[in-house]
Structure 1
Amino acid sequence: MLRWSILAFALFLMATNSNVMSGVLPEIARDLHASVGQVAVSITLYAPVIALTSPVVSIVVPAWSRTGLMAAGLVVALLGMIVAAPAPDLVTFTVGRVLAVLGGAALVPTATAAGAAIVGPESRGAAIAFVSCGFTLATAVGSPLGTAVAAASSWRVPLLGMVGLGFGLLISLLLLVRRVPVSPPIGLTQRLTVLRDPRILLLC
């Protein structure tokens, strides 16, 4: 349960970082001397970038230690937050946001899969559900709280706060979420097989 909680917190942190800036776009735009629309684009990069890079990460480094991959993703995400928090202009802010997304692309799917991998087959559904609660909590608690803090102080404050929480998470991952089984690698062809199902294409 402790390891599940650590993995759930990883998803919570990434999801909060993704959404927390949405409520203070005018303030960010004013500080960065940009338009609200330009800042909004830099923030909404999360979805397409993570959709494109997550499969690439799993294909390129299939044999990496899951703990090492999660830690590497978290370090990149924290680096992105560190770059974005004091950003003096839109370009620097966008670079930081993209770095944070790339880190999330390595961390989020790996953490979700790790939750299922560290338990027996009979508990995998419960593990995935528990870890995925990190997203739910981010929507219900993390993002509104972070937005409130940003509105009361500065949009940079919640980013710096998440950096501090992230370093605590990094230590917890390295010390407590170890020896995660690595699943056999799945090639690109196998991953795309699902697209042959007409029901999937209809949903798209």
Structure 2
Amino acid sequence: MTTHTTDAPVPVSAGTPARLPLVVFVLAAGTFLMLTTEFVIAGILPQVAGDLGLSLAEAGSLITVFAAGMIVGAPTMALLTMRMSKKLTLVLALVVFVVGHVVVALSADLTVLLIARFVTAVATGAFWAVAAVVATRAAGPALGSRAMGIVSAGGALATVIGVPIGAFIAQMSGWRSTFWVLGAAAVVAVVLVARLVPGDDTTAAASTVRAQLAGLRSGRLWLALLACATTTGGVLAAYSFIAPILTEQAGVPVALVPLVLTGFGVGSFVGAILGGRFGDAHPGVVTILVPAVTAVVLVAISLSVGAPWLMTALVVVLGLFGLSANGVLILLAVRFSGEAATLGSALAVSAFNAGTAIGTTVAGVALATPLGLQGPAMIGAAIVTTTLIPTIISRAFAEQHLMFKRLGIQAEDAGR
């Protein structure tokens, strides 16, 4: 089967919707909750560590284990639920999400917390993988990148609203209250998804595991997945320890941390939308420019000591660029996986979180080195820089594919 293997924009056809359908925004709301619960630990890390008697690196394992759950959960659940209605998969994922948050809110044992976070992450991986496919199909090929930009913006909105509010709630009434609120919000999300996400086309042919796996032979798919891992891993290496970086390295008052996190979130929200818009026309440019700028910003963050205002500005810029290519990368993964679109999307989610797990682990180790709190951002810069390798190679494949087309050569495998 021929798949889209070029970075050229998809032309608008008569069957293309003029605007994004409502379901895209519903899924963005679900992504908002998923990203909030994944990243909220970064904003409340000192409170969690203090309450449980842990070091910052040990408390940071609650972020790492969530990423590990996403790595395993996304592709596994994509295969296990491929014959299940996508609507039912989304609802069940949210129900598990609710239960996981109740367990975290009630438990005082680190092992139980880690298990609950892992199970919640598995459900989150299933939601993300299916949501990406449902959103892009509902939007149509010409608006696919824009749809993923909106869904990604839902995740970015988590850093605008979710993480700062979570940090504020933790300061006011304890970190467990943050998880009670997230669980309650997820109950509302269950109702919205159940009512507004359309059912599957019952006439569509059922896929098989073999057919799904056969769609993963695209070389450009794996380049996109590698870029997913490195771009997110580098940003999250620094962001996972952002609270102590702000307060102890830069001297930002503790009470102002939620406001700085809001600035990061606003930047992420705007960046996700702009990345999606530019990604429809220039995906190759977006996936090369974004990591290049992000690496420079992370180096600047690492070198900024005792400068609260400079650090605040750099964190906002990091939000603007850091994750703004994610929607484009997910779309490319879906496009290059052909018939295995759901599995390709799931692998993109796994790649993002593999990068997060590796980045946070290495950054946690760096805290114990002479680099101290400057280590996470420096490690993050090094990881993000490696994103340029797969994105430049993929761009070269795209140019080769376009050259074949201009010469009239039938080369379906060019760029694969």
TM-score of the aligned structures, taking structure 2 as reference length: 0.45
Structure 1 stretches of 5 or more lacking a match? none
From the superposition, tell whether residues 78 and 5 of structure 1 become closer, same or farther in structure 2 (CA, over 3 Å).
same
CA distance in 2, matches of 1:131, 1:167: 19
CA distance in 2, matches of 1:142, 1:198: 32
Where 2:60 maps in the other structure, the secondary structure is: helix
CA distance in 2, matches of 1:88, 1:61: 33
CA distance in 2, matches of 1:58, 1:95: 21
Within a 5 Å distance, the mapping from 1:119-134 to structure 2 comes to: 119-134=139-154
In structure 2, give the amino acid aligned to 1:156. R
Structure 1 match to 2:215: 190
Within a 5 Å distance, the mapping from 1:79-98 to structure 2 comes to: 79-98=99-118
CA distance in 2, matches of 1:189, 1:83: 39
Q: Which range moved further: 159-168 or 19-28?
A: 19-28
CA distance in 2, matches of 1:111, 1:53: 14
User: Any idea what the Cα deviations from partners look like across 1:89-146, whole Å, max 9, x if unmatched?
Assistant: 1112112111211110111121121112234434333322222211111122221221
Within a 5 Å distance, the mapping from 1:7-18 to structure 2 comes to: 7-18=27-38
Aligned residues: 203
Structure 1 match to 2:54: 34
Within a 5 Å distance, the mapping from 1:96-111 to structure 2 comes to: 96-111=116-131
Structure 1 match to 2:167: 147
Q: Does 1:70 align with 2:90?
A: yes
CA distance in 2, matches of 1:127, 1:196: 21
Q: CA RMSD in A?
A: 2.4
Q: Which range moved further: 77-86 or 52-61?
A: 52-61
Structure 2 match to 1:156: 176
Q: Which range moved further: 123-132 or 167-176?
A: 123-132
Where 2:129 maps in the other structure, the secondary structure is: helix
From the superposition, tell whether residues 30 and 72 of structure 1 become closer, same or farther in structure 2 (CA, over 3 Å).
same
Q: CA deviation at 1:61?
A: 2.0
CA contact (8 A) 1:77 1:100 kept: yes
Of residues 49, 71, 75, the one that matches 1:55 is: 75
Structure 2 stretches of 5 or more lacking a match? 1-20, 227-388, 392-416
CA contact (8 A) 1:57 1:106 kept: yes
**Seq. identity, %:** 26
In structure 1, give the amino acid aligned to 2:98. L
In structure 1, give the amino acid aligned to 2:84. W
Where 1:187 maps in the other structure, the secondary structure is: helix
TM-score of the aligned structures, taking structure 1 as reference length: 0.87
Q: CA deviation at 1:184?
A: 6.1
In structure 2, give the amino acid aligned to 1:194. S
Q: CA deviation at 1:151?
A: 1.9
CA distance in 1, matches of 2:31, 2:37: 10
CA contact (8 A) 1:15 1:138 kept: yes
CA distance in 1, matches of 2:88, 2:154: 21
Where 2:215 maps in the other structure, the secondary structure is: helix
CA contact (8 A) 1:11 1:132 kept: yes
From the superposition, tell whether residues 36 and 125 of structure 1 become closer, same or farther in structure 2 (CA, over 3 Å).
closer
Q: CA deviation at 1:187?
A: 2.0
CA contact (8 A) 2:35 2:155 kept: yes
Which runs of at least 4 in structure 1 moved beyond 6 Å after TM superposition? none
Where 2:106 maps in the other structure, the secondary structure is: coil
